[in-house]
A and B are shown apart, each in its own frame.
Chain A
Amino acid sequence: MPADTELERLYDAHAQALFAFLLNFTRKEADTRDVLQEVFIKLARQPALLDGVRDERAFLVRLAHNAAIDLMRRRGTRQRNYDQLAAESLQLFEPAASPDERAFRRALTAALGELPPDQRAVAHLKLWEGLTFEEIAAQLGIPPNTAASRYRYAIDKLRERLRPIYEELK
C-alpha cells in the first residue's frame, strides 16, 4: 500500500481533476464520490499500481473512467429516469457572481448533459484539462481519430445549443 502520506499526496494532486471529470461524466454527485473512492481504494490495495507510470494523471483518469463505465453499466436502465432528475439539479460549475454568467453556466451544464457520455468525456478532457487528442485517446483507450471526431460532434452540438445565450453575452 502506498504510505498514508503518498495516498494523501495523490489525492491532493489529482482529486480535483478526477472529481470534475467524473461529475461531468456521471452527472451525479453520489456516483462521483463512489467512483473517486473506488479509485483510491484500488490505489491503497495495490501498492504496485503506479510503479513505472510516467503520467499519474493520465493513468488515474483512465482508472476513473473505467470505474465510472462499470458503475453505469451496473446501474442499467432502471435508474435512467432517476438519473435524469438528478442531472437537472446538478451543479457542475462554481457559482457565478453575475446573473448572465450564472445563466450561461446553467445552460452549459444542461447542454453537456445532452451529449452522449463518450463525447462528454472527450470534450471535458479537451476543454478543461487541455489535453491533445493523442493524450485523450491514450487516457480513454480509443484511437486519436475517434477522439477528434467525438470532440467535433460535441462542440457542434454545444455551439448550436448555446448560440443564443453566447451571442447575447458577447
Chain B
Amino acid sequence: MNSNDFEKKLGQQPMRAVPAAWRARILREARLAATPEPPAWQAWIRELLWPRPMAWASLAAAWVLIAVLRAATPAEPPLVVRQTPSPRETMQCFVEQRRELAALLNLSTETTAPQKSKSAGPRSELAMSPASA
C-alpha cells in the first residue's frame, strides 16, 4: 500500500457541507449576544416577575375583578354621623337635670348648692361667737 496514495485518497473524500439553516441562526444568535444588556432595573423587574408569571397574572386578574365588582355595586346611603357633645354642653345638660331633680324634690336650687360649713372659719372666731358661749 503506497502511503502517499492512501493519504491522497483520504484527503479526496469530501467533507459534509455545513447545514444551510445554521447560517441564519448562528448569525442571529451572535448579533443578539452582542447587543448591550438591559438596564439593571429592567433586569430586576424581569427577575422578580419571571419565576411565576402565571401567579402574577392571576393576582392582577383578581384585582381587576375586585375593581369591576366594586364599580358595579350601588353606592350605600351615607352613614349618620353621631356627634358627641362638647364638655361644655354636657355640663349645661347636667346642671339642667339637677335643677329638674331639685324641682321634683321641692328644693330650691340654692339649698342644693353646697353649704359652706360654719366650722370652716378660724378657731378664734368660733370661740368668740355667742352660740358657743
Q: Which residues of A line the B interface, CB within 8 A?
A: 1, 4, 7-8, 11, 15-16, 19-20, 23-24, 33, 36-37, 40-41, 43-45, 91-94, 104-105, 108, 127-128, 130, 155, 158-159, 162-163, 166-167
Contact = CB atoms under 8 A, between A and B. Distances in A.
Contact of A92 (B11, B15, B23, B30): B15
B27 interface: yes
Given A36-B26, A92-B16, A158-B10, 10 more contacts: A20-B16, A24-B15, A33-B26, A37-B26, A41-B30, A44-B31, A108-B13, A128-B15, A163-B1, A166-B6
A15 B19 CA distance: 10
Interface of B: 1, 3, 6-7, 9-11, 13-18, 22-23, 25-27, 29-31, 33-34
Given A40-B26, A127-B11, A128-B11, A16 B18 contact: yes
A7 B19 CA distance: 18
A104 B23 CA distance: 30
Contact of A159 (B1, B17, B29, B34): B1
B7 A155 contact: yes
B64 to A, nearest CB: 42
A163 B17 CA distance: 27
B27 A11 contact: yes
A125 B119 CA distance: 131
14 contacts: A11-B27, A15-B18, A15-B23, A16-B15, A16-B18, A19-B18, A36-B22, A37-B29, A40-B26, A41-B29, A44-B34, A94-B14, A155-B7, A166-B9
